[in-house]
Amino acid sequence: MQRQQRSGARIDPFDLELFTGSLTSISDEMFQTTMRSARSTVIYDVLDYSNAITDSGGNVVALSCGIPLFTGVFDLMVRAVVKRIRMEEGDVVMTNDPYLTGTHLNDMGFVMPVFDDGLVAFCVCKGHLNDIGGNSVGSWSPDNREVYQEGIQVPPVKVVRGGEVDSDIIGMVVENSRVPDVVEGDIMAMIASLRKGASRLSGLLRSKGFEFGPMSSEVMRRSEEMARQRIATFPQGTYTSREVLDNGMEFGCTVRIRPGGEPRVEVEFTGVPPQVMESINTTLPGAVSAARSVYVAVVDPHADYNQGLVRPLDIRVPRSTILSAEKPAPVGVYWETTTYAADAVWKALAPVFPDRLSMGHFLSVAADIVAGRDVNGKGFVLVEPNPGGWGATESGDGESALVSLADGETYCSSVEVIERNYPIRVEEFSLNVKDGSGRGKYRGGFGIRKVYRVLVPAFFTAAMNRSLHPPWGNPGEGTPNYVVIGGKKLANVSAYPLGKGETVEIVTGGGGGYGNEEERPEELKERDALYGYR
């Protein structure tokens, strides 16, 4: 079909709407392809992955559901790959370099070019692989002291060349895993999603005659214009916050809203401690994704995300810190520090946008691993996040049992899926009413209480924050996150041995409260009494 758009020509608004909707549909189909093809529960049940489409410069044009820590930095990942490798049609590049892609070694990224009279776009996927070797089963651990302990490192490398899968490259990763068949299946699922996306996008451009470059630029221009219009209505000012981590480290955050002239928002992290020999470090892309997530929640949480939406946002982070770690700093539980970075921006802006931002939430990804060998001697790795309580708002109680800000569209593992796939019995999965939540005119939401009994000897790993410093409220503080093993309350454990029949209890905290408790509406007090809420 003859091209309907040429650079500099006016783009028909109906064509643009069709183009935008089609890209969203393609991204969603990529997402569904990954989910329906994957082997691990962390992909097909938890949904610990994301897909997107970028332009030839790496700018995100459309994306699927997914984790903000992935979707927020797809642009940085694509640019890092393009800088290092020249791609041809049919190629797919794979990498888990955390210093380029912003998370940890378990998260494998994939990039595939799309050609239409030249390179026009990239299809992208990133997902969590259950185990990629390393010091501890499941690979990530709060005890690791350098990245070399956290699993195999894969620099940007072609895993598919001209449409042919390089089995040697995949074998290198798979042979380092304790669950090789699961990891291989998930790698192939993500590659399949990119092939599906590239095929659909090429078909769209051919059938409709769309020029990807000009049309994607217009999509991003409109999003940028909308974002600046919104920022122009914000109150000008400088807003600050401070975060205290459970290990005693502190850092600050300054957010400047500049609605005049060319409206923009500036986020600066200050007083950030140097990177440490603990796996809580996050790399620069992680801090960027944290700030972008909260910024989008304030500007327009319902807008379709693309690069134009975040162009009015400037982010400054000092180098070689726990928010911008460099090799060989370990980053296995990067998400805990990344969530603190997001919370710092959230806390600074919550008083300015009380209709959009709640009080503090349980914050932690509250991730756990249960791993071992089943009765047939086959290795298994259950890895999952856990939901918790969110903070109250000026208009109502906080939500209960939702995943952390960092996890976006993910879920905790389904009870039925756990018991079907693993030698684990789920003996309790309930709201954590016992510990309560932040009090106030409106109370925080409740966390969860979950009890696992292992039916074979196993190892348990967990990483949590907000165990010593509960979620902030106005004024009612929330409650802490912790695990209970052998009667002991713990926050971080690595490969803790569990005997057959032993239990582990996972507990997440409640969110912060809002307002004077004496002003709590009578109907809410009656509901609390009816359901036994504290």
* C-alpha 173, offset from chain centre: 23
Contact (Cβ atoms closer than 8 angstroms) between residue 319 and residue 138? no
Q: Averaged over 77-92, what is the pLDDT?
A: 96
CA 288/CA 79 separation, integer angstroms: 15
Q: What per-residue confidence (pLDDT) applies to 3?
A: 53
Considering all CA atoms of the chain, what is the largest pairwise distance in Å, rounded to the nearest integer? 71
pLDDT at 299 over 70: yes
Q: What is the DSSP letter of 514?
A: B
338-372 tens-digit pLDDT: 999 999 999 999 999 999 999 999 999 999 999 99
The pTM of this model reads: 0.95
Q: Averaged over 455-468, what is the pLDDT?
A: 96
pLDDT at 153 over 90: yes
How many C-alpha atoms does 123 have within 13 Å on its Cβ side?
29
pLDDT at 462 over 60: yes
Q: Which two tokens stand for residue 198?
A: 């590239």
Q: What per-residue confidence (pLDDT) applies to 508?
A: 98
- Name the 3-class secondary structure at 137: coil
495-526 tens-digit pLDDT: 999 999 999 999 999 999 999 999 999 999 99
pLDDT > 70: percent of the chain: 98
pLDDT at 439 over 90: yes
Contacts of 221-224 spanning 24+ positions with Cβ under 8 A:
221/308, 222/308, 223/303, 223/304, 223/306, 223/307, 223/308, 223/309, 224/308, 224/309, 224/311, 224/312
pLDDT at 71 over 90: no
1-31 tens-digit pLDDT: 445 554 456 889 999 999 999 999 999 999 9
